[in-house]
Amino acid sequence: MMNKNAIIKEPTLATQNNVAALKAVASDIQAQQWPTFNQAPEDDRLDHFIHRDGEVFAGTHLIIDLWGANRLDELAHMEAAMREAVKKAGATLLHIHLHHFTPNGGISGVAVLAESHISVHTWPEKDFAAFDVFMCGDAAPEKAIEVLKGFFTPDRVDVDNLRRGKVDE
């Protein structure tokens, strides 16, 4: 009889003949404790849409390009930058996942927020980083720009500011 650890290591071994092991894997997956976010009791808004300058929209999405940037291949530095950007923006961090590519050392990753996300892709060989900062509610995503400048000291910063999910009223 196949055990669940063998199936996890080599999913192609899973067959209908391994029903008990498959059920054990399914049970483990269902029991997985995923991060959750409970909004504060005093915050009874259901949509967290932003009302600003006579517009109603889901959130602010900043597309940030850093050119001539430094330290784009350092995982710990990237994580620290993302954590500080979340903090300065007044957002709520749920999870960070970063992946380091070899041989060039580029990083791709995301900080998942209660308010949305910050994502990054770096090309250290070009001294270039692409960040997306998308936040809804009371968060201030614009504050992440100065944090990223401070951590990566780019020669040039290009920012596009989009209002996502505009409501026609």
What average pLDDT does range 135-146 have in this prediction?
94
pLDDT tops 60 at residue 1: no
Judge whether 117 counts as a catalytic residue: no
- Categorize the per-residue pLDDT at 103 as very low, low, confident or very high, splitting at 50, 70 and 90: confident
Q: Is residue 41 part of a domain?
A: no
pLDDT tens for 51-73 read 888 888 788 999 999 999 999 99
Q: What is the CATH number of the domain that holds 59?
A: 3.60.90.10
Two tokens at 60? 């602010």
What is the pTM (predicted TM-score) of this model? 0.73
Judge whether 116 counts as a catalytic residue: yes
6 and 83 belong to one structural domain: no
pLDDT tens for 77-90 read 999 999 999 999 99
Q: Which domain holds residue 133?
A: 50-164
Judge whether 121 counts as a catalytic residue: yes
Count of domains for the chain? 2
Q: State the catalytic residue, choosing from 61, 116, 117, 119.
A: 116
Separation of alpha carbons 130 and 22, rounded Å: 41
